[in-house]
Structure 1
Amino acid sequence: MRGEFSGLKTLILNENESAFYVHCFAHQLQLALVAVAKKHSEIVDLFTMVSNVVNVVGASAKRRDMFREKHADAIFEALNNNELLSGQGLNQETNLKRSSDTRWSSHYNCLISLENMFPSVIDVLKIVRTDGSCHEQKFEAKVLLTFMQSFSFIFGLHLMKRILGITNDLSQALQKKDQDIVNAMDLVKICKGRLQSMRDNGWDSLLDQVPFFCGKYHIEIPKMDDIFSSGGRPKRKAQPITNLHHYRVDLFVDVIDIQLRELNDRFNEKNTELLLCMACLSPSNSFSAFDKAKLMRLAQFYPSGFSEHDLKLL
């Protein structure tokens, strides 16, 4: 519908220049998040592999029972080592969360559960790799193990968990049927600001968190000054880059920039101002949001409906 040349938006604008294009709020956010997955190959790989892991671990009742048993053992050990707090309502999660493309907050929950249950997932995949019922199952488990026990996977997991954590509150709020427009626009502004702050100041804390997680589960940590290797065939005439450049520029900065561009595009200044001006006509609380200046600005959005004379009268 939003096609630049022949979509519904273009056809309507050809008939009326004062038509404005505003997505459903929740749909805008989901489109922005989906854009990150579609525009960065490593994030595509991450979510594809995460989905495969969830499918393999939960493929049968036997594997689900095996996973619950491994996870219960892991919790018991962590409690004995004072690595977890005990109490009512704590440590009750026993299954990996599944993600859904229509509910992007589910991807956030999926990544959190995968991080929390990481050792149990690894244990189950090792069992499938050894005792799988066919060669295909053993091979798939082997591939998933190799991928999950790599620095690239752990880095991508923590990066996307942070980004989706920032957008999760906004995602939940925009899906409320009684959402207030002014509050929604404030949330969008806060979300953009937090993403920009993460881009400017969040690298060091992420680089501390990822190696800590890798060290805990004996995952090899590359030296940031070494030349980056993707593991595949090198591109011809491609300039060699360091691991630091790849993870900081090509992944960390690039993914956040894609997210910010999409949010800025879908929640642009014109649409935001239009919606805030419309909010002054809300009848809630005896029209408490009424604002004459915003009403005048709203009229200026429609020059074909309000001439200069009409604006003076208004």
Structure 2
Amino acid sequence: MTIILRFVDCNGFIRERFVDIMSVVDTNALTLKQEICKMIDNNGILVENMRGQGYDGASNMCGSWNGLQALFLQDCPYAYYVHCFSHCLQLALNGVAKDVKVVWRFFSMLTNIVNFVSAFAKRCNELNLIRKVELKELLDSREFETGRELNQGHSLKRARATRWGSHFASITSLMSLFKETKILLQEISEHGPNQQFRGDAESNYIAMMSFEFGFASLLMDKIMGLTNFLCQGLHKKTQDIVSALNFVENTKSQFQDMRAHGWDDLFMSVVSFCEQHGIDVPDMRRFYYS
């Protein structure tokens, strides 16, 4: 359990300090309360002076009757509970994504691809070797820029259900290693150790090389680049409610501008991405019948 204290110093400034990481035998609300009170007492802080609590939405933390916040409210009637702002945003975005079928299919395929490649250290090493070969060829042809902090080593990152920022990191990691991942899946589908591995690699390769997956990748990368900026803003130590609302309003304006004027640029970037990686682009001028 991680404990962080937020307080007002003698000069009236809001401060936030990491205090301790504590080992607990279980995550019951009563156990957590006892450990927190022990830490507070050891540091000479009065529990009665508590004026706020901030946790995520787990039942043992925010439960109205037996949650940690309810137990502290019995001792400190002014210790109001506030659900973490950035965590609320992450959960809301995650819930909205589940209601959009195309987006939900994209994240399901993304998770399958990342898990398949990252499941074994041998596959990660093979991916790194392919990456080194690609970088060497680019260096020899002088087709990309070199310099400090450029062309860093990458690995595929998994998305977490309650960490929306991790979804953005998962997308960007796959896009930066798209060609290498494609080559690796092709090799496993042809020379895998058994039929199951070869079949799984081929199905992931087919999903990855579809226009729908390529389009969703760039769309979500664009959208989540905006929401990631908002998430980072909400994580600032000096954040207040007025600044948070300004961040939200600014993000909404950017989304509205993207909806009104961003289609052409997005589609051109999708076509360029598909051509670069050999993904078939459907003819948008043809008539389609459902």
Same structural fold, with TM-score higher than 0.5 when normalized by the shorter chain: yes
- Rounded Cα–Cα distance in structure 1 between residues aligned with 2:224 and 2:249: 16
1:126 aligns with 2:190: no
Q: What are the superposed Cα offsets for residues 8-34 of structure 1, whole Å, 9 maximum, x if unpaired?
A: 7xxxxxxxxxxxx98531122112211
User: 2:99 — aligned with what?
Assistant: 39
1:143 aligns with 2:229: no
- Rounded Cα–Cα distance in structure 2 between residues aligned with 1:23 and 1:37: 21
Mapped contact 1:30–1:102 kept (Cα < 8 A): yes
- Rounded Cα–Cα distance in structure 2 between residues aligned with 1:28 and 1:64: 33
- Rounded Cα–Cα distance in structure 2 between residues aligned with 1:23 and 1:191: 21
- Rounded Cα–Cα distance in structure 2 between residues aligned with 1:135 and 1:107: 31
- Higher-strand-fraction structure: 2
- Rounded Cα–Cα distance in structure 2 between residues aligned with 1:55 and 1:49: 10
1:1-314 matches, cutoff 5 A? 23-228=83-288, 240=289
Larger relative contact order (CA 8 Å, sep ≥ 6):
1
Q: What are the superposed Cα offsets for residues 45-82 of structure 1, whole Å, 9 maximum, x if unpaired?
A: 11111111111112212111110000111122223333
**C-alpha deviation, 1:94, in angstroms:** 2.8
Q: What are the superposed Cα offsets for residues 134-166 of structure 1, whole Å, 9 maximum, x if unpaired?
A: 222111111111111111110000000000001
**C-alpha deviation, 1:125, in angstroms:** 0.5
- Rounded Cα–Cα distance in structure 2 between residues aligned with 1:61 and 1:196: 43
- Taking every aligned residue pair, what percent have the same amino acid on both sides? 38
Structure 2: gaps spanning 5 or more residues: 1-56, 58-62, 65-80
Residue type of the partner of 2:149?
Answer: G
1:22 to 1:195, Cα distance in 2 relative to 1, 3 A: farther
- Rounded Cα–Cα distance in structure 2 between residues aligned with 1:152 and 1:81: 32
**C-alpha deviation, 1:116, in angstroms:** 1.1
Mapped contact 1:26–1:171 kept (Cα < 8 A): yes
Mapped contact 1:108–1:165 kept (Cα < 8 A): yes
Mapped contact 2:154–2:173 kept (Cα < 8 A): no
Q: What are the superposed Cα offsets for residues 187-227 of structure 1, whole Å, 9 maximum, x if unpaired?
A: 00000000111100110001100111111112111011334
Mapped contact 2:171–2:217 kept (Cα < 8 A): yes
**C-alpha deviation, 1:177, in angstroms:** 4.2
User: 1:273 — aligned with what?
Assistant: none
User: 2:60 — aligned with what?
Assistant: none
Residue type of the partner of 1:67?
Answer: L
User: 2:17 — aligned with what?
Assistant: none
User: 1:244 — aligned with what?
Assistant: none
Q: How many residues align?
A: 213
196-205 vs 92-101, which moves further: 92-101
TM-score by length of 1: 0.64
**C-alpha deviation, 1:91, in angstroms:** 0.9
Q: What are the superposed Cα offsets for residues 82-134 of structure 1, whole Å, 9 maximum, x if unpaired?
A: 33211121111231122212211111111111111111001111111112222
1:51 to 1:126, Cα distance in 2 relative to 1, 3 A: same
123-132 vs 188-197, which moves further: 123-132
**C-alpha deviation, 1:37, in angstroms:** 1.8
- Rounded Cα–Cα distance in structure 2 between residues aligned with 1:27 and 1:164: 15
Residue type of the partner of 2:179?
Answer: P
- Higher-helix-fraction structure: 1
**What do you get for the CA RMSD once the two structures are aligned?**
2.0
- Rounded Cα–Cα distance in structure 1 between residues aligned with 2:221 and 2:96: 13
- Rounded Cα–Cα distance in structure 1 between residues aligned with 2:257 and 2:139: 35
- Rounded Cα–Cα distance in structure 1 between residues aligned with 2:230 and 2:101: 25
